[in-house]
Structure 1
């Protein structure tokens, strides 16, 4: 195996910034591959990374990525820009060492389910500096619940494709 092949799926070699940028491109390619159109936003002023258009609706996409080897939690901070709403989807990309990335498409409203996979943390109380957040627990116990959001299944389930 040559060096290029060896580094192909070794995600720890990418910096956090590189992984984030790669994830946005990867998400766009996955959506294009599945028949959606993709449009870049000029500003990230609404808590979204890009817009995708299916046959019958526009989707606002926020991309989140995680190397499962180093962490098992992803969060989205509640702000005036980022809040749960119809038409906003989280494109979650999970990187397992030496494997292709796993891509999931989650309607943001599902983050309010609070089922162990999805949690909402308010961090209320004195001396707490963190803002409220929605989290996704990616422990072995909860990963199975994520399967219904696998991109190919999700696009059909949420009637985004004909």
Structure 2
């Protein structure tokens, strides 16, 4: 490219910058940072404290907002179950079930979770990675939030 063509390309808007899923402690320390482009999703995974099987609560980035879309529950154990009028329950083919089409926006695109011990192992899992919140912050107050991705900018130097 001749002239300023290459420089112009550096400043073109990037499609799909998306958002980041963060987990932050009350003191502001970030313990997780996962890229979540618009239209993609992530799950909060954890093991049921009595039965020990994995439960999945899955979310999606919809136009920059956190939306709970589905949940996988391998059993009707304590604290689990489908509420009539909140999504639809379908078999997972292995004795458990998915609650599909929940489509519930999360107020403020954030919520607080107190991760359990490693026996429960609360985790965030997205295509960009997996982080054990239990390993980093057992019983701490952790804010899980979907935030706009910081804009990319070329490096600058002070003259």
Normalised by the length of structure 1, the TM-score is 0.31
Name which structure has the greater RCO, CA cutoff 8 Å, separation 6+.
2
Higher helix share: 1
Normalised by the length of structure 2, the TM-score is 0.31
